[in-house]
Amino acid sequence: MRPDVVTFWHGPLDDLRLTCLRSQIAAGHKVTLFSFDPIPGLPDGVGNAEAEAVLPHTFAEKLRPPQPDGSWRDWTTLQFSDFFRMKLMAQSAGLWLDADVLLLRPVELDPAKPYFAWERPRQLGNSVLYLPSDDPIVRAFEDLMEQDELTPNWLALRHRLTFALRRLRGGSNRLSDIRVAIYGPAALTALAQRENELQHALPKQSFYAVHAEPKLFFEPSDVSKYLNDPDIIGLHISPKGRGKETPIPGSLYAWAAERFA
């Protein structure tokens, strides 16, 4: 099955994300971007849906208080999206792709099985994610979202110790302040292991060939080794602040900017 693609964004979109959204449309997927405010200038074919209907804006206050002007701060957007994608899974909305996932070919999946890939040794990525609505990972997140303190029952021992020490020293009482990805890849990996679902994980090369090294995407390289590799379905970019850069000739970014203009 070629699924619909869903994602979430908060704030303006840069050229890199627009390029990635165009690639998802070009691969033949229906793409819907959820947001709290309308986002102008979306590529043709990308729908813009109301995020409030999926997960209320006020849920972010469980993560940390907003700025005096009401805006989100620090890691709030990233962590909110970790929960948002699980709500979409519960609603059978489709395949989650981060807005910085560049698709090189269509994604085909079995709607009865989880779909994700290794991001690095011993850790799954959640930038590409599909789970059946009745999957135990989805149910675990739904149970967690009912809590005010958002403390997972799958939390690793080292994170429990870090949290306990911080509280003893008078630090933050919010688990969300311990680590930016506390509800993201680490949580998905722990739950997939607990539920015996790691068997479904695709190889790292399928989506994370350039993930941890943005220079592989933004700087000149042998582009053909990515485009001609049948095991690479897409590329999660992880721009690390480089999303607004002008594409450099000879780079994967320059190829993508031209290909999906």
The DSSP element (H or E) to which 77 belongs, if any, is: helix 76-90
Show me where the domains of the chain are located.
5-259
Task: Give me the torsion for CA of 220, 232, 114, 100, rounded to 10°.
Answer: 20
CB neighbourhood size of 165 (10 A): 10
Nearest in space to 82 (alpha carbons), one of 174, 180, 6, 184:
184
120 forms beta bridges with: 123
Helices 252-259 + 15-26 axis angle, to 10: 60
Distance CA 85, CA 33 (A): 11
SS3 string of 3-33?
CCEEEECCCCCCHHHHHHHHHHHHCCCCEEE
Q: What is the pLDDT of residue 241?
A: 85
pTM: 0.94
Question: Tell me: the pLDDT tens digits for 171-207?
Answer: 667 788 877 888 999 999 999 999 999 999 999 999 9
At residue 174, φ and ψ (nearest 5 deg) are: -100, 125
DSSP 220: B
Q: What is the pLDDT of residue 67?
A: 87
Q: What is the pLDDT of residue 79?
A: 96
Helices 76-90 + 136-145 axis angle, to 10: 130
Buried/exposed code over 127-144 (b: 16+ C-beta within 10 A; e: otherwise) = bbbbbbeebebbbbbeeb
At residue 86, φ and ψ (nearest 5 deg) are: -70, -35
Residues 6 or more apart whose CB falls under 8 angstroms from that of 40 comprise none
Q: What is the pLDDT of residue 171?
A: 67
Question: Tell me: the pLDDT tens digits for 140-166?
Answer: 999 999 998 898 989 877 777 877 777
Mean pLDDT score across all residues of the chain: 94
Cβ–Cβ < 8 Å for 83, 182: no
Positions in the chain short of pLDDT 50: none
Q: What is the pLDDT of residue 69?
A: 85
Compute the Cα dihedral for 158, 122, 5, 223 and give only its sign. positive
Compute the Cα dihedral for 259, 107, 31, 135 and give only its sign. negative
Q: Which amino acid is at 102?
A: L
